[in-house]
Structure 1
Amino acid sequence: MTPSSCILRSNEHCIVFLDMDLQGRRRAAAALVAAVAAWFFLWFRRRSEDARSITYGPMAERDRERNSNLRFIYESDDVHCVNLLRMRRAPFFQLCDLFRSRELVVDSIHATIEEQVAIFLHVVGHNQRFRVINMTFRRSPETISRFFHQVLYAVGELRNELIVPPSISVHPRILGSRRWNPYFKDCIGAIDGTHVLARVPLKMQAAFRGRKHTITQNVLAAVDFDLRFTYVLAGWEGSAHDALILSDALERADGLTVPQGKFYLVDAGYAARPGFLPPYRGTWYHLREFGSNRPQNQRELFNLRHSSLRVTVERAFGALKNRFRILDNKPFHPYKTQVKLVLACCILHNWILRHGQDEHVPTEVAWTPNSTDTLPEPEHSPDNGTWAQQRDAWAAQMWQNRGSSRV
């Protein structure tokens, strides 16, 4: 055998050996893959069997309790509905129908529009946390939060049709009163600011701490003589002066406008200027300040009649805070949401008044002004001379025509 033939035979044996080794490794790898697949199959099957044996609690019982609570809300009388949802049954169901027709809120597989709106009203009406009312509605805090913000957005979409400028015609309340007609015949409402408790980060609290030494946002609102809000500007810091906020409202593109020849009643913290009529400063104002005494001069008489008409805006604020307790307590929401909630509550207030007043609206006879809200603040600008003279002319005319009545 030649050396070359030996080398050739040796190479053939090496090739056969390498082929056999590669095939063995392939078989071993295939066996390993099969074993791993079998192990995962058995593990997944056992896990599935264990999962089927787990119970998460009486879901059906929770549903029954939820439905029972909702039926109690929906089917109760107006008294219970006002206590729970802060409005009567008629405006509640009509509001839900409006959201449904415009698709602002939609029914889900698990919750109707009525339930979602009821959750929102429960939160703003009683200032309760999401994790508290989940025991009533049997929903998770995350679900309640989602429904809450959906309804908050829907209510905000009604702003342009529920918060509208007042009528420029003489209001029947003024037209039929000797005390106010003809002096206030061009008055279309009253403007005032109110402080709503706020929650802001620590670094912002100094700006939001007003004269009451509490953290608040200052809300400016105009109200007509039917107690409806006709303009609302929320979000200003509690330390901001009312006159500054009014200037901002007048400068905004979509801000407050005063029709030509008309005016609003304002308190002594504002300056007398065309469109805005304050009382005389340093003079008795509210009826309770007079007691059993009668006005002794034309300024006192003017202030008393001015107060008796401007009390409308104070009553509107009182009704708003009495109805929606979230505005009169420390809120639990981010500040941007707090500002939206002020506007939403004013919108709902107007919606409710479309269906008649209820016990949350204080009567004029029973209303007692809050002295801490009506104290005049230092003025930022002097009175307009022409407008101040007009006020003097009205005051003199009132005093001359007072007759036997001085109120």
Structure 2
Amino acid sequence: MEPMDQRTLLVNQATAFVAVIYAYFMSRLRVAQATRPQITYGPLSAMDEERQANLNKIYNCNDVECISMLRMRRAPFFNLCNLFRDRNLLRDTIHSSIEEQVAMFLHVVGHNQRFKVIHQTFRRSMETICRYFREVLYATGELRQEMIRPPSLETASKIRTSPRWYPYFKDCIGAIDGTHVHARVPTKISAAFRGRKHYPTQNVLAAVDFDLKFTYVLAGWEGSAHDALILADALERDDGLRVPPGKFYLVDAGYACRPGFLPPYRATRYHLKEYGGRNYPTNARELFNLRHSSLRVTVERAFGALKNRFRILDNKPFHPYKTQVQLVLACCILHNWILDHGQDEVFPDESTWEPNCNTSSHLDGTDVVDNVAWGNKRDEMANLMWTNRGNSHV
């Protein structure tokens, strides 16, 4: 027999042997399956029905419940979900809708809940919650360019319609300030994140217009960094803060008086509370500071609304620091999105807002150098206010 024929014969024999063995084991398997007691499972849709009923109570019930659970009304919530869907930033899956994915994310940032708690509320695995959290965080960040936009160059209606501020602040386009947000960082670098607070924070610089919308946000700086240093960094960045010629922001006394930035007079009474009783401004500088304070309080109200709505910014977070920085930006984006649909009770009313009196307005100014020209401009504004004050004390 030829060698080639021998090899063919061996291959055929091996193939036949494997086929016999396979048939044998398959027959044994069928016998075992036929004799094994059958396990009866409950309906797989039971948990899904429970989960859907829970979701309906959260965002299909009413605005009060929706604000309580998701920190926004139903209209902005569903519009946000539809935006993510239309732009393919998020996708519905066979197991979870975009509405559920966004609801889980909002529940985390709105109440600073750990994934273990969300696991119990939404009946989802930890891996599923973590995955959707990252996806919604990324999708929200993709809206930054259109939601955090530079302010309008037109005089704000709040200024234009008030003789207290017009025409003195007609070129003002907003207010700038820094706020401290809780941070979780490794122990070896925690000292750099402790500034005015006794706990680690990140110092967030933000610009706000007079509609309480954020027009610029820079997050990630250590809590010990001075506001003026962070502002300098914001101005040097390629995509950083820009002030149009002739326009300016209101800032506190920790910043220098320079083109584009107008602080109050230092070592001069600033907030109305500092006057007490029936005392009123007695000179041009005090009147300027008081009106400056009443207008700059806008940025404090915006920060107050942001932290009041998203409790993750006012409590110790449970996420890596890089994620913490991204969460600050995401919350500012969502803040502006909500404002596009109107204010709600989370926003502090201006008439009841208590300003932050821990201001640096009493600094002696040795750590900042004012621009002479802008210092003179501030003097002109103050003197004009004093001359035109009439019977008004404020």
**TM-score, with length taken from structure 1:** 0.87
Q: Is the 8 A contact 1:210 1:239 kept in 2?
A: yes
Match of 2:351 among 365, 380, 384: 365
Residues 52 and 247 (structure 1), Cα distance of their counterparts in 2 relative to 1, 3 Å cut: farther
For residues 224 and 110 of structure 1, the distance between their equivalents in structure 2, rounded to whole angstroms, comes to 41
Shift of 1:283: 1.2
Match of 1:306?
A: 292
Deviations 1:54-112 (A, max 9, x none): 85x77433212101001112221111111011000111111011011000000000011
- Cα distance in 2 for partners of 1:106, 1:313 equals 36
**Does the 8 A contact of 1:270 with 1:379 survive in 2?**
no
1:389 aligns with 2:385: no
The residue type paired with residue 358 of structure 1 is: D
Report the aligned-residue RMSD. Answer: 2.4
TM (normalized to structure 2)?
Answer: 0.90
Distance 1:137 1:273, change over 3 A: same
Matches within 5 A, 1:22-41: none
Work out the CA distance in 1 between the residues paired with 2:213 and 2:48. 39
Ranges in structure 2 where 5+ consecutive residues have no aligned partner: 1-12
User: 2:271 touches 2:357 (CA, 8 Å); kept in 1?
Assistant: no
Match of 1:341 in 2: 327
Displacement after TM superposition at 1:135 (Å): 1.2
Change in CA separation of 1:300 and 1:204 when aligned onto 2, cut-off 3 Å = same
User: 1:287–1:41: structure 2 CA closer, same or farther, 3 Å change rule?
Assistant: farther
- The aligned counterpart of 2:203 is 218
1:178, 1:188 → 2: CA distance?
A: 17
Residue in structure 1 matched with residue 168 of structure 2 by the alignment:
183
2:352 alignment partner, SS class: coil
Report the number of matched residues. 378
Other-structure match for 1:273: 258
Aligned 1:2-151 pairs, distance under 5 A: 53=39, 59-151=44-136
Equivalent residue, structure 2, for 1:7: none
Match status 1:400 vs 2:387: yes
SS in 2 for 1:371: coil
Looking at structure 2, the residues matched to 162 and 390 of structure 1 have their Cα atoms a distance apart, in angstroms, of 33
User: Which residue is equivalent to 1:24?
Assistant: none
Unaligned runs of 5+ in 1: 1-26
Q: Distance in 2 between matches of 1:242 and 1:253?
A: 19
Q: 1:277–1:211: structure 2 CA closer, same or farther, 3 Å change rule?
A: same
Equivalent residue runs for 1:174-323 within 5 Å: 174-292=159-277, 293-323=279-309
1:320 and 1:230 map into 2 onto residues whose CA distance is 14
Provide the C-alpha distance between the structure 2 equivalents of 1:242 and 1:173, rounded to a whole number of angstroms.
27
Identity of aligned residues (%): 67
Structure 1 residue 324 corresponds to structure 2 residue 321: no
Residue aligned with 1:70, SS: helix
Change (3 A) 1:49 1:389: farther
* Structure number with larger C-alpha Rg: 1
Distance change >3 Å, CA 51–CA 173, structure 1 → 2: farther
Report Cα offsets for 1:307-353 as digits up to 9, x if no partner: 00000000000000000000000000000000000000000000000
Check the 8 A contact 1:321/1:328 in 2, yes or no.
yes
1:371 Cα deviation from its structure 2 partner: 3.3
3-state SS of the aligned residue for 1:253?
A: coil
Query: 1:222-267: per-residue Cα shift (whole Å, max 9, x none)?
Result: 0000000000000000000000000000000000000000000000
User: Which amino acid in 2 is paired with 1:381?
Assistant: V
